[in-house]
Structure 1
Amino acid sequence: MRPLQISPETAVKLAEALNIPLEQLMHMPQHILLQKMAELNKKEEEK
């Protein structure tokens, strides 16, 4: 599995938004990360 193709700044922001450690985020499969980002986006739209 190749590393995620995101910038370090984006990785830090995502880890904070998802309340997970940065290391866990970087080892997360891309399809799971995309699913979590969609959930996060849905929560933001509800506000």
Structure 2
Amino acid sequence: MKPLNISPETAIKLAEALKVPVEHLMHMPQHILMQKLMELSKDNESADKEKQ
């Protein structure tokens, strides 16, 4: 499996947001990454609604 085709800056930001090491993120299967991003998005939406 080849590493994700994303910039180093994006990889660092995603790794911090998902709380995983950058090395794991870069070799994470794309479908798993998309699933984690959707979960992160839902969590952020929930947090935004609670603030209102």
Structures share fold, TM-score greater than 0.5: yes
Structure number, greater radius of gyration: 2
Superposed displacement of residue 2, structure 1? 2.4
TM-score, length-scaled by structure 1: 0.91
Task: Tell me by how many angstroms 1:3 deviates.
Answer: 1.8
Q: What is residue 41 of structure 1 aligned with on the other side?
A: 41
Alignment: residue pair count? 47
Q: Give the drift of 1:7.
A: 1.1
TM-score, normalising length: structure 2: 0.83
Return 5+ residue gaps in structure 1 as ranges. none
Two-structure CA RMSD over aligned residues (Å): 0.8
Identity %: 68
Structure 2 unaligned spans of 5+: 48-52
- 8 Å CA contact retained: 2:2, 2:27: no
The runs of at least 4 consecutive aligned structure 1 residues that moved more than 4 Å come to none
Deviations 1:5-35 (A, max 9, x none): 2111110001001111100000100000000
Give the 5 Å matches for 1:1-47.
1-47=1-47
